[in-house]
Chain A
Amino acid sequence: MILLKEIFERSFDFAKSSGNKKEKIKIVNDLKSEEHNHKRTRSAIKFYMHSLKEGKVNKNYKIVEVKGEEKVVRRFYELGIFSGQKIIILNKSPLKKVFLVEIRGYVLSIKSSLLGEVMVV
């Protein structure tokens, strides 16, 4: 819920200019669902999303998009890393090339260049 709150506040700034009450209610309802169909929420997410490689330790993130090489993306989907999941970075290696990541209740270590294609908010 903390993630949703942040996205809500940011997209609320976006939607401030509209001034239309009905549109604000639409955005709020759209945020609470998982799908993000409304145009303003999608543009807010596109503006604020960044790759997991630039993330900070011990901060809650939510995955928005997973890209990359085919075999890597397939292995991510099998492990449960797809859009809509919560992910936390636990640790970074000394040279910052490998990340320790917690997802779906277990711990994985993944190379950070593979995580450069995973977009989070």
Chain B
Amino acid sequence: MDASLTLETGSGFWTPVLLLLGLVVCIVLVLIIRAFGEKSYKRGTEQTKPFLSGNAEGNKDAMHVRAGNIYWGFLEALKGYYTPTVGAHTGDVTDYLIWYIGVMAVVLGILLVGVLL
């Protein structure tokens, strides 16, 4: 058992420590570039307030994009898949038991046919 930093995946290799070292180098570079940036920035002043083309900033609560709005288009486009799939999740225990018996019958059928073949 000779453990190393590199995981052999069968067809390739994976060395997370190398990736992390690369990330560290990138972060250092970013910080160096940042150090050359504008130094007159002051927190809590007009500089840091949102600028919406001169319009007043709206209510913070109303501006947050809620979970229900995210991927709305994706879900709408796949309505044909989602309508029956969501519908199958009835929350009714009787349905769960029917699924259970049905799946057991299918598994038993496959196993028995598998042996007969």
Do A and B associate with each other?
no
